[in-house]
Structure 1
Amino acid sequence: MIENARRWRVLAAGLAVGMAGVIGVAGQTASAEPLLPLPPAPNPANVNQTATVAAAPAGLAGPVAPGVTAPGAPAPAPGVPAPAPGAALPVGAPGSVPQLATPAIVPAGSGTIADYFKSKGVKLEPQVSRNFTALSIVLPMPPGWSTVPDPNVPDAFAVIADRSSTDLYTPNAQVVVYKLIGNFDPVEAISHGYVDSLQQMAWQTTDMTMGDFNGFPSSFIEGSYRADSQTINTSRRHVIATVGPDRYLVSLSVNSGAASQGVSAAADATDAIVAGFKVSAPGAGAGTPGA
């Protein structure tokens, strides 16, 4: 999947570079379409589970997000490709609960995840990374990247970006986490995971898959769309994680300008984030992701 994406990125670079003469240089604020509409912002939910929330270095050691730790990396399972060099996995705490296999998922033809939850009367409570212990979430931090505030990402759990980049569009990665209050079918919900991306202007898909992601139902889609006269490459993953009686929506969006994809450093950094991103239950460790 990553190799296919790289080949596509090189082709996309040719088109974007040809347009560079008429595209203004973007500011150094990481920005992208928010993953979900902004719900009311109640106080963060109280949770009792214990886990590690980590921003781990990708490649060479880099800074970690405030309030998080970078645990060591266990060896991958036999036959499974190793993560990007230096990508770290969280060390789980005792008390893990085995995850059931995710049934086959048939993608929905319409309605975003937000639309689905609204139709079911499910409330989305945004979570913050400080003192969050319900899940173990690993967001790799490539060398030269740093955590940044971004008002363009409603309910941001974590946003990192390469602020030193000279690309027309600042490469960035965003994570949002919501606690889901209400009754719904997680597999049915995640079947709507492609729709928000497919609705973007001039969307073109390069890869997409649905299935198990470390024991949780997940959707992954990769492609490009047009925003502010630029072509943006994006990789997006939604995960619905169940921990005891609680359920959470974890969404990752990794974005970069198509014009930058001829530069291996930008492509390698975004690929490392996508490959190293992990979501796991407390005590379960990062495990081996699936789809």
Structure 2
Amino acid sequence: MNDNARRWRTPAISVAAATVGVLFFAGVPASAQPLQPVAPQPSPAVVAQTAATPNAALTPAAPNAALAVPSTPSAAVAPAMANPALTPATPAAAAAAPGGVTPPQVAAPAAVPIIPANAGTLSDFFQSKGVAMEPQVSQNFKALNIVLPMPRGWAHVPDPNVPDAFAVIADRVGGNGLYSSNAQVVVYKLVGDFDPREAISHGFVDSQQLPAWRATNGSIAEVAGLPTSTIEGTYRENSMTLDTSRRHIIATAGPDKYLVSLAVTTSVDQVVAAADATDAIVRGFKVSVPGATPPPGAPAP
């Protein structure tokens, strides 16, 4: 089936891929501090270090003419372990507690859960608050760092069926001849006053309103400090059953707030064949604020 026979359709938000093309805007400069000189030890221990084995190189995707798609290093280098003999003791470890009594540890406050709303889409919520949704384009967009993986055999495609599209990619070599697996990203600048946590509680509703919707997974929480909703399931479109993964993220960059939405969709009869590509998109899609430091151990949404 030729390319013209494929219908480029995308629901409204979320997934990404194995061979990586990256939509990346803005970076965070790194800095290094010189080590303090350490007094020689009488009998210094010899510390053996083992070089990390680099991972296999990834095959880069073809560059996208419309979006900046810099290549990413394929192998992650594991940092060497610190030498205990050269690491100065921390004040807490060096100084004993008065009277030999260990002070109690103060537990971090528990995260307050976000309760999903029963009605009202995100668009409905913003309209009720008088918040304007200004669509953004990928060219020269630097307010956020957005990473959209590009699987092998996928390409950026124009899609008139996706209003306000920031980026749309689709499988150009697979599919069933009727529907092509695809991923859609939409970005809005949100102009007006609102509570991001209250807003993201409406993140499920647009999916729940799809015909014959059946949810298989979902979560609403703050991820790396960004209110995020993720929902997966199936729905009907014409005579087809489609499988989709959708994500909404609300990010604050300085005084501005943005809604970033990802939708990754495929036909149910192609779920297994497209799994490597769609899983790579879903797992690899990242949104972050330039210069912001996420909480320790928190993955980027």
TM-score (norm 2): 0.68
**CA distance in structure 2 between the aligned counterparts of 1:138 and 1:124, rounded to whole angstroms:** 22
1:48-197 matches, cutoff 5 A: 51=26, 60-66=59-65, 67-68=67-68, 69-72=70-73, 103-167=112-176, 168-197=178-207
- Compare 271-280 and 162-171 and name the one that shifted more: 162-171
The corresponding residue for 2:247 is: 237
- Secondary structure (helix, strand or coil) at the match of 2:166 reads strand
- Please say if residues 12 and 246 of structure 2, whose CA atoms lie closer than 8 Å, have aligned partners that are also in contact: no
CA RMSD of aligned residues (A): 2.8
**CA distance in structure 2 between the aligned counterparts of 1:73 and 1:135, rounded to whole angstroms:** 23
Match of 2:214 among 194, 204, 208: 204
The corresponding residue for 1:249 is: 259
- Please say if residues 34 and 154 of structure 1, whose CA atoms lie closer than 8 Å, have aligned partners that are also in contact: no
Relative to structure 1, is the Cα distance of residues 285 and 144 closer, same or farther in structure 2, using a 3 angstrom cutoff? farther
Tell me how far 1:212 sits from its aligned partner.
2.0
Instruction: State the one-letter code of the partner of 2:240.
Output: Q
- Please say if residues 224 and 232 of structure 1, whose CA atoms lie closer than 8 Å, have aligned partners that are also in contact: yes
- Tell me the alpha carbon deviations over residues 28-82 of structure 1, each in whole angstroms, 9 at most, x when there is no partner: 23202346xxxxxxxxxxxxxx725xxxxx96321233331234368599xxxxx
Matched, 1:260 2:270: yes
Flag the structure with larger Rg: 2
Instruction: State the one-letter code of the partner of 1:51.
Output: A
The corresponding residue for 1:12 is: none
Unaligned runs of 5+ in 2: 14-24, 28-56, 79-109
Tell me how far 1:215 sits from its aligned partner.
1.9
Match of 1:214 among 216, 224, 249: 224
Instruction: State the one-letter code of the partner of 1:227.
Output: E
**Identical columns (%):** 55
The corresponding residue for 2:87 is: none
Relative to structure 1, is the Cα distance of residues 153 and 130 closer, same or farther in structure 2, using a 3 angstrom cutoff? same
The corresponding residue for 2:33 is: none
Unaligned runs of 5+ in 1: 1-25, 36-49, 53-57, 78-100
- Please say if residues 179 and 247 of structure 1, whose CA atoms lie closer than 8 Å, have aligned partners that are also in contact: yes
- Please say if residues 29 and 150 of structure 1, whose CA atoms lie closer than 8 Å, have aligned partners that are also in contact: no
Relative to structure 1, is the Cα distance of residues 76 and 119 closer, same or farther in structure 2, using a 3 angstrom cutoff? farther
- Please say if residues 58 and 74 of structure 2, whose CA atoms lie closer than 8 Å, have aligned partners that are also in contact: no
TM-score (norm 1): 0.70
- Please say if residues 201 and 227 of structure 1, whose CA atoms lie closer than 8 Å, have aligned partners that are also in contact: yes
**CA distance in structure 1 between the aligned counterparts of 2:77 and 2:208, rounded to whole angstroms:** 33
**CA distance in structure 1 between the aligned counterparts of 2:248 and 2:9, rounded to whole angstroms:** 19
The corresponding residue for 1:30 is: 8
Instruction: State the one-letter code of the partner of 1:246.
Output: D
**CA distance in structure 1 between the aligned counterparts of 2:114 and 2:175, rounded to whole angstroms:** 40
The corresponding residue for 2:103 is: none
- Tell me the alpha carbon deviations over residues 206-247 of structure 1, each in whole angstroms, 9 at most, x when there is no partner: 110111223200000000000011000000000000011000
Relative to structure 1, is the Cα distance of residues 187 and 258 closer, same or farther in structure 2, using a 3 angstrom cutoff? same
- Tell me the alpha carbon deviations over residues 81-104 of structure 1, each in whole angstroms, 9 at most, x when there is no partner: xxxxxxxxxxxxxxxxxxxx9742
Instruction: State the one-letter code of the partner of 1:166.
Output: G
